[in-house]
A = this chain, B = another copy of it.
């Protein structure tokens, strides 16, 4: 992981990559595990992402900002960032956890990403954290990484209801393929008028896709 970052306090970096199970197996080394520094890193990420979205999208209503933040600041996204930075290679795990393949578990990778951010913040301050996530996190926004996590149905509902009461319905148009690999097609309608159609491997996925199509048409 070469991001041109040199830690002043190397122990902080060790702490960020050390799981409690490793500490328990090495009682004489008086090691610290990552949970406290992760507590800090979680709040650092929340602010840095909020600030970025707030400034980048000056006209975006709060509801959409919150949904976008929730899509970026979540286990699914953080575990992917951790993998991309090869953080999984550096985790110090106990033998039992190693056997249980914890190293590839999204919840653990997410923790490690937050812990790293916490350590970086504590060691070097907010500006350096911002330049790190400007490389690792923010470009993903334009690459569409978070689109599938956004709740298009809620957004559509909010948009339609701005103009008064409206009845939104989702209807199954068809489903194709065998049970274990079925593809659903759903439409979304407002007061009986079809606004969009979408496909997905579940009805819920197809509904989200339909709502997304409707949103793009309406805007």
Q: Which residues of A are in contact with B by a Cβ distance under 8 Å?
A: 35-36, 38-40, 42-44, 46-47, 49-51, 54, 60-62, 65-66, 69, 126
Contacts and interface: CB of A to CB of B under 8 A. Distances in A.
Contacts of A39: 50, 54, 62, 65-66, 69
Q: Nearest 6 A-B pairs (CB), nearest first?
A: A35-B62, A43-B50, A43-B47, A47-B47, A43-B46, A40-B54
Contacts of A42: 50
A26 B39 CA distance: 43
Given A44-B47, A47-B47, A126-B126, A35 B54 contact: no
26 contacts: A35-B61, A35-B62, A36-B54, A36-B60, A36-B61, A36-B62, A36-B65, A38-B62, A39-B50, A39-B54, A39-B62, A39-B65, A39-B66, A40-B50, A40-B51, A42-B50, A43-B43, A43-B47, A43-B49, A43-B50, A43-B51, A44-B47, A46-B46, A46-B47, A47-B47, A126-B126
Given A39-B54, A40-B51, A43-B51, 11 more contacts: A35-B61, A35-B62, A36-B54, A36-B60, A36-B62, A38-B62, A39-B62, A40-B54, A43-B43, A44-B47, A126-B126
Contacts of A43: 43, 46-47, 49-51
Contacts of A50: 39-40, 42-43
Contacts of A38: 62
Nearest to A35: B62
A66 B62 CA distance: 26
A43 B50 CA distance: 7
A168 B35 CA distance: 26
A42 B43 CA distance: 10
A49 B42 CA distance: 12
A49 to B, nearest CB: 8
Contacts of A62: 35-36, 38-39
A65 B43 CA distance: 12
Nearest to A58: B36
A120 B100 CA distance: 47
